[in-house]
Amino acid sequence: MSAAKMPIASPSIQICRMMRPDDANIVGNVHGGTILKMIEEAGCIIGTRHCNTQAGDRCVAALARVERTDFLHPMFIGEVAHVSAEITYTSKHSVEVQVNVLSENILTGAKKLTNRATLWYVPLSLQNVAKIIEVPPIEYTSPEQEEEGKKRYEAQKMERLETKERNGEIIHSVTVPDRQTKEPYSVGYSQSSLIHLVGPSDCTLHGFVHGGVTMKLMDEVAGIVAARHCKTNIVTASVDAINFHRKIMKGCVITVSGRMTFTSNKSMEIEVFVDADPLVEAEKGKYRAVTAFFTFISLDKDNKPVPVPPLKLENEEEQKRFEEGKARYLQNKAKRLADKERQP
C-alpha cells in the first residue's frame, strides 16, 4: 500500500533577462510574443520541477491553456524583464501557474508591472508522451483558497470544451496578388498567414513544440494583420484565452493564420489559428492545434494611441464575427471597470 502524498508548500521561481534589439519592433517596443514566450518558459520550469518532486516516471509540463493576459505597460529595449511564477492550484492531472512580469529601467531603478498571466499545464511522461502523470498536491493557506482554485479549474475546463467545438474552420491564406484586388480596411485585405517548419530548437524533451514558441508566432501574425489594417506602429494590448487543443510534433509544418474580426475606435481584435501538417506521418492529415484572440492598439510616432480605421464588412459571416467580437470587447471593458472600482 503506497503512502499518502504529503502536500508541498506552494513553489515559486523568478527569472530575468535584458531586452535586446531582436526582442522588439522598429521603434523599440518589446514584442508581445517575446513576453508571452518568457511567461511560458517560467511556467514550464516551475510546473516541470513541481511534478518531478515525487517518485515514479519523470515528466515535463506541457502547456494546455493560457488565460486572458493584459499588457499593462510597454517594455523597451535595454530594460530588464523580471518574470516571477508561482503554482496556485493543482488538480489530479493539471497545474495552475500564475505569473507576474515587471520591467526595470536599470539606469533609474524604476520598475513597472507589465503583465499578469495564468497558465495551465499537464504533466506528460518522458517515457510515453500519451501518458498523463498524477500531479503532487500543494499546500493551501486556507480551504477558501483551494475552493477558489477549484472554481477556476472548472471554469477553464468548460471554456476549453466550448472552444474546441468551433475548432473546425480552416482559414485560407491570402496571396499577394489576391490582396491587390481586396478593398483596404476589409478582412481579406489584412488577413495574413505565416508558414513555419518545426525544428529541434522549437521543441521540448518530448519533441513537441514549446507553447511559448507557438504564442510568439501567433503574436507575429496578429501584429502583421494589425499593421496592414492601420499602417502605423502597433502593440499587443491583450490576449484572450489561448487554448492548446493538440500537440504539435517536431517535423510538422505549421500554418499560423490571422484575420481581423472587430474594431473599436481605439483597438482591434484579431483571431489567430494554428494548423499543423505532419510531413512524416502525412496520413494523419492536417489538424487545428491552437486558437486565440489578440487585441492590438495603434500608436503614433510618440507612442500615443491613435484611432483605428473602421473594419469594412463584406458578408454575413464577417458581420457575425464582428458582433461576437463586439460582445467580447464590451464584456472585457466592463470587467476592467469593475476591477478598477474594487481596487483600494
25 is a catalytic site residue: yes
Per annotation, catalytic residue among 23, 202, 219, 240:
219
**Pairing assessment for the beta strands 192-197 and 252-263 based on DSSP bridges:** antiparallel
Q: Which residues pair with 111 in a beta bridge?
A: 104
219 is a catalytic site residue: yes
Return the closest-CA partner of residue 119 out of 83, 147, 144: 83
Return the closest-CA partner of residue 14 out of 38, 48, 30, 37: 38
43 CB contacts (<8 Å, ≥6 apart)?
A: 61, 63, 85, 97, 99, 119, 121
Catalytic residues: 25, 219
